[in-house]
């Protein structure tokens, strides 16, 4: 079982310079405490995401850390010129000493896509074509490509990634059928949702890997969950009850700005991320508690979903730097070791 961090970089209500400084201090702690990966979201013109240019932010992460893997989850490919993104990926992988993880996707917000003047209905074919360009360019000395959206002729690929032919790939999945392609192409997955749905996705991913003679456990099969750890259940729940509604306000901000009532018009979203943290916990989609409480939650999560990677929001809403640092330290020192011991025992 591996443990990592998912970060929306949602606006906490503090000055932005302090927000970025606090997050970079947190990434140092994630690195020093031995977490496996740090994954940052890409969002635009919304309080949900202040790392609108993940590459700029992650270049700072690369310099502030030494061991932790890091990358976007995901780069929204239709918003980039693929040639520019190839060069950016190469730079990040070289600056990070081969720790960069390449998450790719088409984006999920039609509002954000249309801010860029792109028809959301075209993002799926644009994504597929941009991905082809990206893979070809990262692995080649010269790029030639002729497509509907992108065309390149004899472009020298002077920059190259440290990890060849390209950094490890990551993909967000929401349905079992969407797990087939990443399973077949050695792409790590991270999903969200209720435990039965997560189980269906993981089972589909494992079945496809087994069908192709590939070991499923060579890959990360992760789920995102809000996690707060404190010395007592009461203290952790107090923090989570305060911070989660602010994160959810950011999560729904663009919809509400356009007059959409998420709770009534998008019941799937409201079902995943209800208004209160108590409701989130009741659905199994988050936890706040002492190390003992969180250990039990993680064990239940792994057993019921089949995941081998827990990707936690360890900083969200208006959590202070001190609260997130304490939560991370307790997770690393008093929760994670129990699963490393169990894993070692199972291997004997």
66 plus 83 within the same structural domain = no
pLDDT at 270: 86
Whether residues 79 and 162 fall in one domain: yes
Query: Residue 344 has what pLDDT?
Result: 41
From residue 220, alpha-carbon distances to 77, 195, 202, 217, 257 in Å are: 22, 17, 10, 7, 36
Residue 19 sits in the same domain as residue 97:
no
- Within-domain flag for 262: yes
| Residue that finishes a domain, picked among 167, 196, 230 | 167
Residue at a domain's end among 100, 132, 167:
167
59 and 86 share a domain?
Answer: no
Res 341: pLDDT: 62
Please state, as a whole number, how many other Cβ atoms lie within 10 Å of the Cβ of residue 340: 13
- Number of domain units in the chain: 2
In a domain, residue 191? The reply is no
pLDDT value of position 266: 86
Could you give the 3-state DSSP secondary structure of residue 40?
strand
Assess if residue 212 is contained within a domain: no
- Domain of 32: which CATH number? 3.20.20.30
Element (H, E) at 2: strand 2-7
38 and 101 assigned to the same domain: no
Instruction: Say which residues have a Cβ less than 8 Å from residue 137's Cβ, sequence separation at least 6.
Output: 82, 83, 86, 143, 145, 155, 157
252 and 338 housed in the same domain: yes
Residues 224 and 343 in one domain: yes
Q: Considering 167, 194, 229, which residue would you say is the last residue of a domain?
A: 167
Is 36 in a helix, a strand, or coil?
A: coil
237 and 333 share one domain: yes
Query: Looking at the domain assignment, is residue 149 inside a domain?
Result: yes
Axis crossing angle, helix 291-305 with helix 336-347, rounded to the nearest 10: 50
| Domain assignment of residue 229, yes or no | yes
Instruction: State whether 10 and 113 are in the same domain.
Output: no
Tell me if 223 sits within 8 A of 310, measured CB to CB: yes
Q: Which domain holds residue 249?
A: 2-73+220-347
pLDDT for res 310: 98
Task: Judge whether 182 lies within some domain.
Answer: no
Residue 206: helix, strand or coil by DSSP?
helix
Instruction: Please check whether residues 243 and 342 belong to one and the same domain.
Output: yes
Which phi and psi (to 5°) does residue 2 adopt? -105, 160
State how far the Cα of 23 lies from the Cα of 184, in Å rounded to an integer. Answer: 35
Residue 307 and residue 297: Cα distance in Å, rounded? 13
pTM of the model: 0.95
Output the pLDDT for position 342: 52
Q: Which two tokens stand for residue 5?
A: 């961090």
CA 108, 7, 196, 200 dihedral sign is: positive
Residue 128 lies in a domain: yes
Same domain for 247 and 146: no
Does one domain contain both 290 and 231? yes
Q: Is 275 inside a domain boundary?
A: yes
- Residue 137, SS3 per DSSP: helix
Which of 332-341's residues contact partners 24+ apart within 8 Å by CB, and which partners? Answer: 332/3, 332/33, 332/34, 332/35, 333/33, 334/229, 334/291, 334/295, 335/229, 335/291, 335/294, 335/295, 335/298, 336/3, 336/34, 338/295, 339/1, 339/3, 339/298, 339/299, 339/302, 340/1
Listed as ranges, residues in the chain with pLDDT below 50 are: 344-348
């Amino acid at each position: 079982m591996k443990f990592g961090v998912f970060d929306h970089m949602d606006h906490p209500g503090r000055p932005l310079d302090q927000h970025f400084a606090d997050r970079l201090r947190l990434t140092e702690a994630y690195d020093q405490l031995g977490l496996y990966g740090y994954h940052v979201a890409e969002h635009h013109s919304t309080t949900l995401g202040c790392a609108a240019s993940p590459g700029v932010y992650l270049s700072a992460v690369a310099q502030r850390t030494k061991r932790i893997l890091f990358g976007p989850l995901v780069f929204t490919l239709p918003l980039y010129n693929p040639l520019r993104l190839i060069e950016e990926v190469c730079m990040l992988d070289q600056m990070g000493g081969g720790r960069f993880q390449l998450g790719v996707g088409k984006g999920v917000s039609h509002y954000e896509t249309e801010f860029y003047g792109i028809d959301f209905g075209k993002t799926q074919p644009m994504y597929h074509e941009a991905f082809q360009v990206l893979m070809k360019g990262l692995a080649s000395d010269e790029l030639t490509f002729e497509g509907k959206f992108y065309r390149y002729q004899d472009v020298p690929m002077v920059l190259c990634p440290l990890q060849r032919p390209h950094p490890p790939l990551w993909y967000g999945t929401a349905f079992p059928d969407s797990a087939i392609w990443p399973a077949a192409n050695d792409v790590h997955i991270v999903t969200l949702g209720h435990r039965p749905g997560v189980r269906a996705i993981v089972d589909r991913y494992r079945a496809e890997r087994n069908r192709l003679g590939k070991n499923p456990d060579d890959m990360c099969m992760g789920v995102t969950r809000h996690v707060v750890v404190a010395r007592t259940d009461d203290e952790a729940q107090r923090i989570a009850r305060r911070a989660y509604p602010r994160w959810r306000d950011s999560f729904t901000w663009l919809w509400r700005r356009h007059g959409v009532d998420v709770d009534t018009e998008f019941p799937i979203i409201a079902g995943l991320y209800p208004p209160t943290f108590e409701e989130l916990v009741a659905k199994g989609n988050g936890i706040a508690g002492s190390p003992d409480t969180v250990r039990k939650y993680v064990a239940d999560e792994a057993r019921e979903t089949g995941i081998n990677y827990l990707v936690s929001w360890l900083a969200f809403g208006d959590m202070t730097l001190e609260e997130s640092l304490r939560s991370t330290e307790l997770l690393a020192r008093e929760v994670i070791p129990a699963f490393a011991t169990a894993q070692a025992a199972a291997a004997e």
